[in-house]
Amino acid sequence: MVQYKSVVFFFQVSAANGAEDFYSVEDHSARFEGLELARERDRRATEAWRLHPYVDTVDNRTDFDSKVRRRLNLFFPVAT
């Protein structure tokens, strides 16, 4: 795993974990699992990358554009 210079989790606090009122599979072409399965997948993804030395999290505190800017700010110092 150390071969990656950066690993970023978008939406670590996901709709399945922390924003359950917004979780739905209706009218969502990419989301088909129920709430419990989505939580389990979030947990497993977090656990898989937890020990990576360059893991960062972009959570749901802001709007989408702010999340993208935060992600870019995390990436570009690592990429140079």
Q: What pLDDT, in 10s, does the model give residues 41-80? A: 888 888 887 787 777 777 777 788 887 888 788 777 655 4
- Model pTM score: 0.60
pLDDT at residue 10, rounded to an integer = 57
Please report which residue ranges of the chain form alpha helices under DSSP H: 35-49, 64-79
Q: Is 58 helix (H, G, I), strand (E, B) or coil?
A: strand
pLDDT score for 2: 58
- Average pLDDT estimate for 14-36: 80
Q: What pLDDT does 1 receive?
A: 52
Instruction: Please report whether residue 31 resides in a domain.
Output: yes
Domain hosting residue 38, numbered range: 7-79
Q: Does residue 66 lie in a domain region?
A: yes
Please state the domain count of the chain. 1
- Alpha carbons 37 and 3: distance in angstroms, whole number: 29
User: Does 2 map to a domain?
Assistant: no
pLDDT at 21: 82
Task: Kindly state whether residue 1 falls inside one of the protein's structural domains.
Answer: no
Whether 69 is in a domain gets the answer yes
| Neighbouring residues of 37: CB distance < 8 A, sequence distance ≥ 6 | none
